[in-house]
Amino acid sequence: MDSPLAAADSSPAGAPTTLAPRPLRRLAVPDGLTLLYADAALLVLEKPAGLLSVPGRGPENADCLSARVQAQYPDALIVHRLDMGTSGLIVMARGAAAQSALSTAFAKRLVHKRYQALVAGIPDACGADGQGWSDIHLPLIVDWPNRPKSKVCLETGKPSHTRWRLLGQQRQAELDAARLELEPVTGRSHQLRLHLQAIGHPILGDELYADDAALAAAPRLLLHACCIDLPHPVTGERLRFESAAPF
């Protein structure tokens, strides 16, 4: 799709610019786990917004989904992550063999994920295919002076592909907003958040990439992992799990 490259940086050799980061908003996170599926090789969980997937730096960031899971399932191992502000479906492997099988499935793009998001403004879907899907192809790279952010870089970024389609429109805190279904074809850090910001429609509540109005429009990042379809790490059977967006 034709997209404004608002976040593009085609001159990586220039002097780096360091931006003062916004303070992260702490959310009230419920105790315990929401476990949707468990067997001897696979766990499927629903992560609340505000909870880390893995431990962060310092004792104040020790509470995380993986620690909570491992307290009940000591053999549970991380396969993929969700950003702290993102809610929704995440899978963990039980044991090294299952972890290796699931990691291979992710690498071969045999795992399919869908998200929902509320974004500022109404994206132009005039170039969508017959099912309403549009594409964003913008290369991404870690923005080292401004970690943990990433950025679009046309010269050194890694190829990145997001599909999106419009599910509806609404008003959100004085803003016109759109509900989108998203499919990350590649899996770069912050890909969905940065791709949407780069085409001029940041996710509401995004502390890293939204402008002030879009940030103030929601108390949290309005991004939810709503569907995951994957092969079972032992049997190979296709499994599909869904979770309704809480916003």
Residues 6+ apart with CB under 8 A from 93: 41, 42, 43, 76, 77, 79, 99, 101, 102, 233
Please, what's the largest Cα pairwise distance for the chain? 52
Strands 161-172 and 134-137: antiparallel
Q: Which of 39, 75, 83, 211 is catalytic?
A: 83
CA distance 247 to 244: 9
> How many Å from the N-terminal Cα to the C-terminal Cα in the chain?
27
Is 83 considered catalytic here?
A: yes
Catalytic residues: 83
